[in-house]
């Protein structure tokens, strides 16, 4: 079970729900115009998950996705300071990663 320092009252599912709601809100406000992507996984990581955070530490969240959106375009859109996400006053830093499919053909 993943525990996040500073968000001890949140389970993984709660954090994923908050992140997904934030991304859905950004979609509805056309913040992702021309970015084609579907989320496959939301995975917190970094110092807050490892138990090594300080008061100023952010929460790192990997967004695994499929679609035509480039990682750097999605990174910039998700981490825009005007629309940044905070959970309990902890800033969330997003790290999009395109989902890689593995072919089993020989």
Look at the chain and count its residues: 106
Which residue range forms the structural domain that includes residue 19? Answer: 12-98
Q: Domain for residue 39, yes or no?
A: yes
Prediction pTM value: 0.90
Q: Domain for residue 34, yes or no?
A: yes
Q: Domain for residue 104, yes or no?
A: no
45-88 per-position pLDDT tens digit: 999 999 999 999 999 999 999 999 999 999 999 999 999 999 99
Q: Domain for residue 73, yes or no?
A: yes
Q: Domain for residue 67, yes or no?
A: yes
Q: 12-28 and 71-78 are packed helices; what angle lies between their axes, rounded to 10 degrees?
A: 90
Q: Domain for residue 3, yes or no?
A: no
Task: Sheet with 38-45: list strands edge to edge.
Answer: 38-45, 59-66, 90-98, 86-87
Number of domains, the chain: 1
Task: Return the CATH number at 74.
Answer: 3.30.460
7-60 per-position pLDDT tens digit: 999 999 999 999 999 999 999 988 888 899 999 999 999 999 999 999 999 999
What is the Cα–Cα distance from 64 to 40, expressed in whole angstroms? 5
Q: Domain for residue 2, yes or no?
A: no
């Amino acid at each position: 079970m993943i525990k996040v320092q500073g968000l001890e009252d949140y389970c993984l599912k709660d954090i994923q729900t908050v992140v997904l709601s934030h991304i859905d809100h950004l979609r509805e406000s056309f913040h992702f115009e021309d970015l084609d992507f579907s989320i496959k996984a939301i995975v917190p990581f970094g110092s807050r998950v490892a138990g090594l955070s300080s008061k100023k530490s952010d929460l790192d969240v990997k967004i695994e996705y499929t679609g035509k959106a480039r990682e750097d375009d999605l990174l910039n859109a998700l981490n825009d300071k005007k629309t940044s996400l905070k959970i309990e006053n902890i800033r969330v830093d997003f790290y999009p990663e395109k989902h890689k499919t593995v072919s089993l053909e020989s």
